[in-house]
Amino acid sequence: MASEIILPALVILIFVVALIKKVDAYEAFISGCKEGLGLFVNVFSSLLAMMLSISLLRESGVFDILSDFICKIFPSIPAPIFPLVMFRPISGSASLAILIDIFKNFGPDSLAGKMASVIQGSTDTTLYVITLYFSTVGIKKIKNSLWIGLFADFVGITLGILLTLKFMS
Amino acid sequence: MSKIWSFMILISLFVGIGSGRITSLNQVLVSVGQETLDFALPMMASTCFFSGVMYVAKEGGLMSALEKLLRPFFRLILPDLKNNPEALQYISANIVINMFGLGFAATPSGLKAMQLMQKDNPKKDTATRSMITFLVLNTAGVTILSTMIVSLRAQFNAVIPTDYMPYAIIATTCACIAGLLMDRWCNYRGK
């Protein structure tokens, strides 16, 4: 499989360039790791909040009721995908919680798991980015930026679903 | 968000109790903290690893090389920033860091770019054209390697954790192009 080579090739490229440029690769690696460690503190709390609501939605049967309904409209798409499609543009931690939920219950190599990975990787959290960036500089009139962002999400997610159905099932 | 979140919790509790799934609800309430930690810890550990590798890439100048490569493209889609090369520089840094899946590391340069654009903004409470184009580029941004997804897939024993990547790259590229075209079209119509 060609995609198996992506990661090792990328690491080789990075370290060869670092060697040529005489960069202190070890120091750079360590400071990158530290940055990642700081992320944990920020992400854990919001991830926990979202895991709580997502787990409850699933265990209570609310997801089943919704999925049954939507499956009648789009029969070829795996049902667990729909919550992800709904939450992807709204909340990064919620969609991450749903992704974990799908991996846990169906496995990352199931159709749902693959499709969820592609969807999660195909867009960023539009609402979060727009709120953060505009509020930081004090802009209130955001014109049509939200709609354009959501439109792009829609294109990315739809394409992600179609590509997975065509090539990975 | 807070309302949606509370609503999700309440509705599931009511539906769950109504349909007699009280045992599984209890199960979730008692164990969700432990479970989240079980996922989050290994995920963060391998995100740390990727973050480390990407910092080596950054120090080695791979990212700034890509930035230079993309600069003409940014100049083309952000014509209003002709006289603001500094903002343009922060924008390309932001987009390139995002490409490598280091979203959290990209935010500072993105906010800096917003502040620089805000300085030249005649109407301080209204978004400028360049700001909107930049945010479209950012939210629909092309991501080559999403460190978190790869880490998670590896953690759940995917046969090839990176096998979803080619499709995600195609989808994200098309989403980005679609967003930019839509942005252009809106500008064109607005004139």
Residue type, A92: G
Which structural domain, as residue segments, surrounds residue A88?
44-167
Residue A156 lies in a domain: yes
User: How many domains does chain A divide into?
Assistant: 1
* CA contacts within 13 A on the Cβ side of A164: 29
User: Of B149, B52, B18, which Cα lies nearest the Cα of A25?
Assistant: B52
Cβ distance of A14 and B57 shorter than 8 Å: yes
A115 has a pLDDT exceeding 90: yes
B137 has a pLDDT exceeding 80: yes
Phi and psi (nearest 5°) for B3?
Answer: -65, -45
- How confident is the model over A129-154, as pLDDT tens digits? 888 889 888 888 888 888 999 999 99
- pLDDT value at position A20? 92
- How confident is the model over B149-165, as pLDDT tens digits? 888 898 899 998 888 98
Cα(B115)–Cα(A67) distance, rounded to whole angstroms? 43
pLDDT class for B108, splitting at 50, 70, 90? confident
Residue A155 lies in a domain: yes
- What residues in B contact A152, CB-CB < 8 Å? 136, 139-140, 175-176, 178-179, 182
Q: Name residues 1-40 of chain B within 8 A of A (Cβ).
A: 1, 4-5, 8-9, 11-13, 15-16, 19, 21, 24-25, 27-29, 32-33, 35-37, 39-40
Q: What is the mean pLDDT of the segment spanning B81-103?
A: 84
- pLDDT value at position A144? 87
Distance from the B76 Cα atom to the nearest Cα atom in chain A, whole angstroms: 19
User: How many domains does chain B divide into?
Assistant: 1
- pLDDT value at position A152? 93
Beta bridge partner(s), residue A141: B126
Percent of chain A with pLDDT over 70: 98
Cα(B43)–Cα(B155) distance, rounded to whole angstroms? 7
Q: How many CB atoms lie within 10 A of CB B150?
A: 23
Residue A48 lies in a domain: yes
Which structural domain, as residue segments, surrounds residue B40?
34-190
Distance from the B75 Cα atom to the nearest Cα atom in chain A, whole angstroms: 20
Residue type, B4: I
Mutate to test the interface with A, among B12, B58, B159 (most CBs of A within 10 A): B12
- How confident is the model over B36-64, as pLDDT tens digits? 888 788 877 877 887 888 889 888 888 78
Cβ distance of A114 and B57 shorter than 8 Å: no
CB B158 within 8 A of CB A165: no
Cα(B13)–Cα(B9) distance, rounded to whole angstroms? 6
Residue A113 lies in a domain: yes
Residue B8 lies in a domain: no
Residue B5 lies in a domain: no
Residue A37 lies in a domain: no
Residue A80 lies in a domain: yes
- How confident is the model over A69-112, as pLDDT tens digits? 887 888 888 888 988 998 888 888 889 899 999 999 999 999 99
Residue B29 lies in a domain: no
Q: Do you know the residue count of chain B?
A: 191
